[in-house]
Structure 1
């Protein structure tokens, strides 16, 4: 039994080595072809969340970083200025609870500990929903406004009192209730990263809604509007299996759906990669 175990272990280790070598060669090809899009730190954070089993099962990628997943699925590249970001937004959905796939260090049960494993300089900011590293890269943990407001809900990944506490933001229930959208993108080193984000149709409608909120800064509203228009055109041209259908977007208010509809009718063709 011992000899059989050792033989199988050696075979498995050899297989892993060969796969790792193949991945490294392909990553070099991807870099040479200029396919890398996802900023390296954001990719490392996303992989860490995936490794602990919470990406797509309690955490989704929001904001600008979701664009990389939409690009990857459509085979196009949008204007780099629309996707440049120095932060990452994580949508926390605690409705079904969270299960960690932990390694030997079972204390890794908080988002802050996961972030510190990626970059030891991450610290919780004064705003307890935010972590920041030495270079000013921000990680925000956000969730929808609780409804009803008196109902108790989980607002942390684990039980660590020093962990990030999700902040409640209006409109996120639309993204939380949207179907999940999964894609494999390529990071700046040429390596793959799985992204789980909300359905791009709902993402576009939400971005357009944000761009029309008077309480947002003018520059942010302009960027939100430009991102909504670009991703809307991407969906209309390349993700044709996702038609702009009101029934499929019933998690959105009717006025939000009606406002976003023109974006999906435009046939503005982004440049292909």
Structure 2
């Protein structure tokens, strides 16, 4: 975690830049608002996708089979699960079990028909999304996100950090950023190792197993926290460094062949920040959910990264640019986030008013050490 005084210096630099003539000269075409038609198609497609996901989750209640099974001269209602014939008896045949049997099969059929209808709507919506150039997110990324959600990891245990998170922020604000702001050949997945995993026993093969469902060429590299496919697309699994650093925490989601999360100290407060869930559109035109840190947390973290002396210059300049652009998006396009940093996480509870904080810093010399909870002038 960065020292408190350094975080304040970073924020001071941000505010000085934000109001500077240099910033005003950079007013640009770096972002474009979505048209009314793009907004309409996106909203409709997102709603259909969310309904599809809800219907799919409901279909899990109808997994397996339900049939009558004879034993010792009597018929029993048997609920089978899986391919190995496992299941349980729901009781001897009676008026009550016959109702259960009928309701199960009728409900399963209704759910199947509803899913098929929603799939058709998604296919149609995907065509419109591609025509209107809403399909921004790399296909691999979107497919990975869908599987992370299916395996109940996304939002519960892992979130997306790094450049790919900008896809969520741009859709949250109803804009499209310039493509060079989003270009990246990797996906950073942040795992909160403190959370309880909800994988089923037969699913507990981890992140690499999920990646191989998208592209079988994904292999774990020597670094152990990283996987790559045949096209060189990289997936990094990271986690906050434990506190204290020697505290034991799990470092794999799956078995010993899974990715081993790389501990990074600066991710401690990112993982504790509020999260935002946003529907994005993959290159194939189909929606996917993305869970990312609060955009204000992203701004602070990227500004902090840009001031690290051991950070490559080419990366630090991009970090700063992404932070400044997202700060402008928050100011102009996300009024429910703009102005306040209260609640970003426990380390930022002293930041009550963003613009007020910036004005207070103008022309003032900061002390060598200033607590994050310092409230003078706020």
When the two structures are superposed, what TM-score results if normalisation uses the length of structure 1? 0.88
Deviation of the 1:37 alpha carbon: 1.1
Q: 1: CA distance between counterparts of 2:192 and 2:238?
A: 9
Report the counterpart of residue 241 of structure 1 in structure 2: 336
Answer yes or no: is 1:169 the counterpart of 2:228: no
1:152 aligns with one of 248, 253, 267? 248
Q: 1: CA distance between counterparts of 2:169 and 2:347?
A: 20
Report the counterpart of residue 133 of structure 2 in structure 1: 34
Report the counterpart of residue 53 of structure 2 in structure 1: none
CA contact (8 A) 1:142 1:169 kept: yes
Q: 1: CA distance between counterparts of 2:314 and 2:353?
A: 24
Higher relative contact order (CA 8 A, sep 6+): 1
Structure 1 gap ranges (5+): 263-273
Change (3 A) 1:7 1:99: closer
Deviation of the 1:256 alpha carbon: 11
Report the counterpart of residue 226 of structure 1 in structure 2: 321
CA contact (8 A) 2:330 2:337 kept: yes
Change (3 A) 1:19 1:259: closer
Change (3 A) 1:252 1:259: farther
Report the counterpart of residue 209 of structure 1 in structure 2: 304
Structure 2 gap ranges (5+): 1-97, 359-378
Q: 1: CA distance between counterparts of 2:236 and 2:103?
A: 48
Change (3 A) 1:257 1:228: farther
Deviation of the 1:96 alpha carbon: 2.3
Deviation of the 1:229 alpha carbon: 1.0
Q: 1: CA distance between counterparts of 2:298 and 2:352?
A: 11
CA contact (8 A) 1:62 1:91 kept: yes
2:123 aligns with one of 13, 24, 27? 24
Report the counterpart of residue 195 of structure 1 in structure 2: 290
Q: 1: CA distance between counterparts of 2:220 and 2:293?
A: 26
Deviation of the 1:11 alpha carbon: 2.5
Q: Which secondary structure does the structure 2 equivalent of 1:149 belong to?
A: coil
Q: Which secondary structure does the structure 1 equivalent of 2:159 belong to?
A: strand
Change (3 A) 1:22 1:246: closer
Deviation of the 1:9 alpha carbon: 2.7
Cα distance per residue 1:136-182 (max 9 Å; x no partner):
01000111111112211111112x11111111113111210100111
Report the counterpart of residue 122 of structure 1 in structure 2: 218
Report the counterpart of residue 57 of structure 1 in structure 2: 156
Change (3 A) 1:5 1:238: same
CA contact (8 A) 2:142 2:282 kept: yes
Change (3 A) 1:142 1:118: same
Q: CA RMSD in A?
A: 2.4
Deviation of the 1:225 alpha carbon: 1.0
CA contact (8 A) 2:280 2:289 kept: yes
- 1:87-102 superposed matches below 5 A: 87-100=186-199, 102=200
Paired residues in the alignment total 258
